[in-house]
Chain A
Amino acid sequence: MLSRVADSIYWLARYIERAENSARIVMVNANMVLDTPKGMSPGWRPLITITSSEELYDQNYSEDSERNVVKFLIGDMNNPGSILSSLWFARENVRTIRDVVPRETWESINDLHLYAKTNLRNGLSQRARYDYLKHIIAGAQQITGMLAGTMNHDTAYHFLRIGRNLERAEMTIRIIDVRSASLLPHKAELTPFENIQWMSVLKSLSGYQMYRRLMQVRVGRPAVLKFLLQTREFPRAFFHCICEVEESMRRLPHNNKTLAILAAIKETVLKADLAQLEQQALHIFIDDLELALADLTTQINNRYFVAEPSPIKQSG
């Protein structure tokens, strides 16, 4: 298949996933802010940190008010990671490859972008925001489901899965990183609120209920970390995402390097003794994972999306 088509489908998946993730973290944060005691709330700044967009945000906004952060994350077209931008990019990507994806998918993506745009005011208002974000999340899931259920599971589909799972993996470790750092200091009387915060971490990833089912222990730091980093069962767990990427990567040509990186990442994650990682060590650990992912995406990019002009070799 054409490199450009592979590139487009990979990014299509990333953008859809990104829109969904952004919607979820805004929704959960709004909830959490309401539950945390006055003066102790981490506020809205962490969302800017999670999405790695501090610089861009600070250039355009002077304070971290709810209004500003929500506007930046939902509807700001200057922010390439906002929900609206992500959906717009997804739409532009799929437009060039309409012959590769089923028609209905193109229509759904078109619809979702149109919805996000025409109802933007709802997204910004406190009262209507929940429904707006819920619609975005459901729309993204519908697209993912449609592709899984109606598209040939061929090379193109594997690029789609790789894009989606890499975006997910990255989001999961960023949420862990930022959320664990902004947690309250260890004090007995604050314990209930610490739980609330770890619960919000799980909820940011739609993982609270599945955590309960799988881990069967109370919500606490070591178990949440294990659940989100090391389990194969939870679809938003880092390890799960990496395994999915690996599975798809095996179907692609010229995959030696990328498979080697994936194997190394898997080993690092599984070997980590998470219970022993203090905050600083956890931060460094996650940094390493982020670097490894960056290395992997560069490899994917060089290997599949930018075919080098020489040496000339013929194939197939």
Chain B
Amino acid sequence: MRKAMVLFASLFAAVAWASSGPAAEGEKEDVAAYILHHVSDSHELEIEVPLSHDHITLHLPQILVPFKDGACTPVMTDHGEVTPGLGAGCLDLSITKHTVMMWLAAVLLIGSILIWSNRDKTKLVPRGTGANLFEMLVLFVRDELAIKNIGKEEGPRYVPYLLTAFFFILFMNLLGLFPWMASATGNLAVTCGLAVCTFVVTQLAGIRAAGFGGYLAHLTGGVHPLLWPIMIPVEFLGLFTKPFALTVRLFANMLAGHIVIFFLLGLIFILQHPAVAIISVPFAFGIYLLELFVAFVQAYVFTMLSALFIGMGVAMGHHGDDHGHAHDHKEGGHAEGKAHAMGH
């Protein structure tokens, strides 16, 4: 393994040596811009032709919906042409690189579910690495995440959502590790969208457990009606703290890993010496393996926290217990349940 690593680093160093020279001079300042260009979203999908300097660029369709005439006319700024945002009355529904990655992840998700779940149905004992690995992950999400965080009675109800979130995030994370692909979870809008889904499910779980009246009552914080104008916004803002944590955690972890890999390789161009490759390439390779681990860990963490928050929503209707049983509540909730929900 050590010999292989040294050989790998030497090969990279040789390639770097061969490509160093006048071309590398101008690249010193461009490393940061190059990294940002690679991790950010774009309207193009660049595919490099192997063993050449040629690129195949796929221009993705731009879909702009103006709310008023001329709202989507590009504006010239210091950074070039910029399309006005939603504030200026232009809704950008363009298909971007990250959108394509999300679609690809969705296709992989649906395909794997159809293939392996069908194999699970038709055989008493599923055979094959894929089917067994898939079953292991599904059972893990059900038993260790859903049931342990939500409860035996209510947990299975939320397993489909948790499984979808887990595999969708996992596939998006893994796609980002392939050449010419991108990690859609390194986009704040994507992680925010996922967190919104969890937020909606959490609130529905709370409404289901405490009743709609009980759910609204916990937003008053249990204070006198005269203080509601202050307390209701406080409790309403408090609802968004958990999804915010979900959003930032996934986004920052995925983005940071990619930036570190690019930066380690960029060191060769910053220091402008091919010998740097002997250090930076093995380090980048190590971080890449860590990224592979993080792809699974972040999918697990997001799903685990989603289950935890849904479980806390389910507990909203309980009588101060924590045993995970579902109780029947009349529409409108009850004082004890709603008092427990928000610390009385």
Chains A and B come from one and the same complex: no
